[in-house]
A and B are shown apart, each in its own frame.
Chain A
């Protein structure tokens, strides 16, 4: 998985690309650290270019949500498609995380 961060006034948008699986633990740690350093309250993960996510990837997204919440930031998952959208549904993540189309 790779990512690019765009820091705007109102929100930080992080675009994830590729496959997000248990092997991406180090990248997720780095990403969470970077997100915590930005100013915006709204932290948006743009999932439109993410091709595949597994249960550990979902777990790491939940860790990101929790870490943002601890510093009064809001994590939003945006524009999931295909397999990623399907997994978010199977895992019923909409009950826990803010999801936008």
Chain B
């Protein structure tokens, strides 16, 4: 996953930044070790301590889907979500560094991102920070959902779209999706989502660990293939980066 910076013209409205760490299902010893390594104090919901004051945010480390399902796990002041999984402390430190540079950040396995409906969670977190009219929120959720679905299904799981308009194509898609989600080699691949709130827009990047994607010049629509066009119809800007493994979208505010 490219640990690059947000675009040059990024001017954050304020400097929220990660000020504390929260564990969701992470063994206590490891959480304490990471708290020391990342120099972030531990936080619990209900704490009246400094971390929750002002624009300061909390980074949640999650392990397993159970703790990731509760709505509370996605509510302010938590603004970054990193799934521990099989990551080393060093890799977690790198991810935390990327989380510190974004306003909202998620780095999850494919299985977990799919299970918790990551796109809807992040859109809710965005609207908590910046309320939007319903139509605008709906559009953004669709674009977000399409970008995340592409990253998960076609990127990380390498499942091809439904070719042709038949139940047979749907069955093939079902079987491939189930098989890949059951295979840790695919299901443990990561998706990374970063959001920056700017003065007049929202910048979003969604990255996967798949084989990449080149947008064909001409596309035959079957039951699949509309996602990227829908994003293009909604987003103000759309760029495919890293050989198609990262999509950058910008929505006006």
Contact = CB atoms under 8 A, between A and B. Distances in A.
B149 A56 contact: yes
A60 B227 CA distance: 13
Chain A binding surface SS class: helix
Contact of A66 (B114, B165, B177, B226): B165
A83 B226 contact: no
* Max chain B Cβ within 10 angstroms of own Cβ: one of A21, A25, A59: A59
Interface stretch (B22-30, B39-47, B96-104, B134-142): B134-142
A29 interface: yes
A8 interface: no
A26 B177 CA distance: 11
Given A22-B149, A25-B170, A32-B167, A63 B135 contact: no
Interface stretch (A9-17, A37-45, A86-94): A86-94
Nearest to A89: B233
B79 interface: no
A82 B139 CA distance: 10
A60 B161 CA distance: 11
A90 B233 contact: yes
Contacts of B224: 55-56, 59
Chain B binding surface SS class: helix
A58 interface: yes
A66 B149 contact: no
A91 B233 CA distance: 10
Nearest to A66: B165
B230 A90 contact: yes
Interface string B151-167: 00100000001100111
Interface string A64-93: 011100000000000000110011001100
B219 to A, nearest CB: 12
B213 interface: no
A23 B138 CA distance: 19
Contacts of B252: none
Contact of B234 (A28, A66, A90): A90
Contacts of B161: 59
A54 B149 contact: yes
Given A58-B226, A59-B161, 4 more contacts: A25-B170, A59-B226, A62-B165, A66-B166
Closest 7 CB pairs of A and B: A59-B223, A83-B138, A66-B165, A55-B226, A55-B227, A25-B174, A63-B223
12 contacts: A25-B177, A28-B170, A29-B170, A32-B167, A54-B227, A55-B224, A55-B230, A59-B226, A60-B223, A63-B166, A63-B169, A65-B165
